[in-house]
């Protein structure tokens, strides 16, 4: 059963000439599922989350969350969801516990129930032993965990997390990802946004790949990877003349896409790496360049994005 149903959702900022940040997006999220929106900067992820949180009025389309319309039943939607926004909003001069108590009261929790929920949430975000420290003393990752705790206080059925692991240490990242998997195992539905391919791949039951306001592919990892079929991902470095080399390689038989990635690498999609690699070396030799590094990767979501857009999904 779908608990989130998004139907042709649209947002144009500053109409009529403003950017179409979300351009007719539709998807469903099943109850108890982790669904990720994977896309680069500016793809429209936060705009989508804002509309699904009733913080931003859609320009068109609608979505139902726990059976309620985000356009006409905002209050019921807000009761069903917890939102972890991309930008942290907490009080730096209050402790972790005080922040949770403050937000718990905002949600209408009182007395023993409030105390119990705050204790449970501190356990969940593994900050029991730091609960009395002021937020300003916390690392970015710890603040992020408190932010997640706030969104969980009222036991929402659906949790939205907007890029919760950007700019934090690896240990906090691990703790957040494990926490999300644990919440899913308890039956919570999760909508997650990220531009990290590896995170989407690890966490999600299904992934929607978004770019320029459009959902360009949706499915399980296995389904999405089939889009690139048996193609392999080859990354090459040469000692000089990278752009020229990429042009030459793009014409080699068996190469379906070739592009420059950053200053040092060429990224190629090829049909059969073992067959194509010798030709790539030959082409380099013929151009007087030496290959200094080469790697071959199995199909992944990064390749799906590259295949569909011709651009790299930059981390």
Ligand X SMILES: Nc1ncnc2c1ncn2[C@@H]1O[C@H](COP(=O)(O)OP(=O)(O)OP(=O)(O)O)[C@@H](O)[C@H]1O
Give residues in contact with Mg ion (CB under 5 A).
45-46, 86
Q: Which stretch binds ligand X (CB under 6 A): 37-45, 139-147, 240-248, 263-271?
A: 37-45
Contact 265, 237 (CB under 8 A): yes
Question: Looking at beta carbons only, is 245 or 313 nearer to ligand X?
Answer: 313
Structure tokens at 274: 């073992």
Partner that binds at residue 47, options Mg ion, ligand X, none, CB closer than 5 to 8 Å by kind? ligand X
195 binds, among Mg ion, ligand X, none (CB under 5 to 8 A by kind): ligand X
| All residues at 6 or more sequence positions from 303 whose CB lies less than 8 Å from its CB, including other chains | 225, 228, 231, 233, 269, 297
Which residues, 6 or more positions from 3, have their beta carbon under 8 angstroms from its beta carbon? 29, 30, 31, 65, 66, 157, 158, 189
Using CB under 6 A as the binding rule, whether residue 10 contacts ligand X is answered as no
Q: Which range binds ligand X by CB under 6 A, 14-22, 108-116, 126-134, 243-251? A: 14-22
- Going by their DSSP bridges, the two strands 255-261 and 232-238 should be labelled as unpaired
Q: Where in 187-226 is the site for ligand X (CB under 6 A)? A: 195
Reported residue count of the chain is: 315
| Residue 209 Cβ vs ligand X, minimum distance, rounded to whole Å | 12
Q: Which of 12, 35, 38, 45 binds ligand X (CB under 6 A)?
A: 45
The one segment of 35-43, 129-137, 199-207, 227-235 that binds ligand X by CB under 6 A: 35-43
Query: Sign of the C-alpha dihedral, residues 188, 189, 192, 196?
Result: positive
Whichever of 255 and 313 has its CB closer to ligand X, that residue is: 313
Residue with tokens 């001069």: 93
C-beta closer to Mg ion: residue 59 or 86: 86
Q: Are 267 and 233 in contact (CB under 8 A)?
A: yes
DSSP 254: T
Nearer to ligand X, 42 or 244 (CB): 42
Name residue 209's beta-bridge partners: 38, 217
19 interacts with, out of Mg ion, ligand X, none, CB within 5 to 8 A per kind: ligand X
Rounded least distance, CB 206 to ligand X, Å: 18
Cα–Cα distance for residue pair 82/79, rounded to 1 Å: 8
Considering all CA atoms of the chain, what is the largest pairwise distance in Å, rounded to the nearest integer? 77
Give the residue, chosen from 41, 72, 75, 186, that forms a contact with ligand X under the rule CB under 6 A.
41
Tokens 């296995």 locate to 222
CA gap 6, 27 in Å, rounded: 5
Which of 46, 165 has the CB closer to Mg ion? 46
Nearer to Mg ion, 37 or 118 (CB): 37
25 binds ligand X (CB under 6 A): no
144 part of the interface to ligand X, by CB under 6 A: no
CA–CA dist 234, 240 (Å, integer): 18
Q: Are strands 34-38 and 60-65 parallel, antiparallel or unpaired?
A: unpaired
Binding status of residue 91 toward ligand X by CB under 6 A: no
Between 13 and 91, name the residue whose CB sits nearer to Mg ion. 13
19 binds ligand X (CB under 6 A): yes
Q: Quick check: 43 binds ligand X (CB under 6 A)?
A: yes
Residues that bind ligand X (CB under 6 A): 13-14, 19, 21, 39, 41-47, 86, 195
């Amino acid at each position: 059963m779908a608990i989130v149903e998004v139907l042709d959702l649209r947002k144009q900022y500053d109409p009529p000439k403003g950017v179409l940040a979300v351009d007719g997006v539709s998807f469903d999220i099943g109850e108890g599922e982790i669904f990720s929106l994977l896309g680069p900067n500016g793809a429209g992820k936060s705009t989508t989350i804002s509309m699904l949180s009733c913080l931003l009025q859609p320009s068109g389309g609608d979505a139902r969350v726990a059976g309620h319309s985000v356009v006409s039943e905002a209050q019921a939607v807000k009761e069903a969801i917890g939102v972890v926004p991309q930008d942290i909003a907490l009080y730096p001069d209050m402790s972790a516990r005080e922040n949770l108590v403050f937000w718990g009261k905002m949600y209408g929790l009182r007395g023993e129930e409030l105390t119990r929920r705050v204790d449970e949430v501190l356990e969940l975000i593994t900050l029991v032993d730091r609960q009395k420290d002021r937020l300003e003393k916390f690392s970015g990752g710890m603040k992020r965990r408190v932010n997640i705790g706030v969104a969980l206080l009222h036991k929402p059925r659906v949790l939205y997390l907007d890029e919760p692991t950007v700019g934090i240490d690896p240990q906090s990242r691990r703790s957040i990802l494990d926490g999300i998997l644990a919440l899913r195992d308890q039956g919570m539905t999760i909508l997650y946004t990220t531009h990290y391919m590896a995170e989407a791949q690890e966490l999600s039951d299904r992934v929607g790949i978004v770019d320029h306001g459009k959902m360009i592919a949706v499915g399980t990892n296995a389904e999405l990877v089939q889009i690139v079929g048996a193609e392999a991902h080859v990354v090459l470095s040469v000692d000089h003349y990278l752009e020229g080399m990429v042009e030459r390689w793009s014409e080699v038989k068996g190469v379906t896409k070739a592009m420059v990635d950053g200053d040092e690498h060429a990224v190629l999609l090829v049909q059969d790496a073992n067959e194509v690699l010798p030709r790539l070396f030959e082409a380099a030799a013929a151009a007087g360049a030496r290959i200094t590094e080469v790697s071959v990767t199995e199909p992944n979501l990064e390749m799906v994005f590259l295949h569909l857009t011709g651009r790299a999904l930059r981390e």
